[in-house]
Amino acid sequence: MDKNVEFTMLYDIYGKLLTKKQQEIFEEYYLYNLSLREIAENKNISYQAVRDSIKSSETALINFENITKTLALTQKMKKAYDLCDCEDLNKKRQQLKKLLKSEDDI
């Protein structure tokens, strides 16, 4: 999965757990595609402070996911839903059983 897409998905789930300042900088960088320089100028802070904030936000989001596995579970549930939406239901039921048995992946 693309890094930007993954961090955006993690932010959708865990973003409220970041500080308000981290949320603002993260959104400007990932959602509005502003450069580190642009964010630093807009916030009147250093380039390094912006970079550090983004890195600490990324680390926090990854840690939240490693603990709760919410994104992994959501993706697994989507796969399960997609399997149920097919014509060859018998074959898909077997795939679904395998998918749900692989709880060790979560």
pLDDT averaged over the chain?
89
Q: Give the side-chain half-sphere CA count within 13 A for 5.
A: 2
CB neighbours of residue 9 within 10 Å? 17
Domain, as residue range, for 41 = 3-68
Digit-coded pLDDT (tens) for 38-48: 999 999 999 99
| Residue of 74 and 58 predicted with greater confidence | 58
Q: What is the DSSP string of 28-97?
A: IIIIS---HHHHHHHHT--HHHHHHHHHHHHHHHHHHHHHH-HHHHHHHHHHHHHHHTSS-HHHHHHHHH
Residues 50 and 80 in one domain: no
Looking at residue 1, the DSSP 8-state letter turns out to be: -
51 and 87, same structural domain? no
In the predicted structure, residue 106 carries a pLDDT above the cut 60: no
**Same domain assignment for residues 56 and 11:** yes
Q: How confident is the model at residue 55 (pLDDT cuts 50, 70, 90)?
A: very high
Residues 49 and 10 in one domain: yes
Tens digits of residue pLDDT in 2-15: 999 999 999 999 99
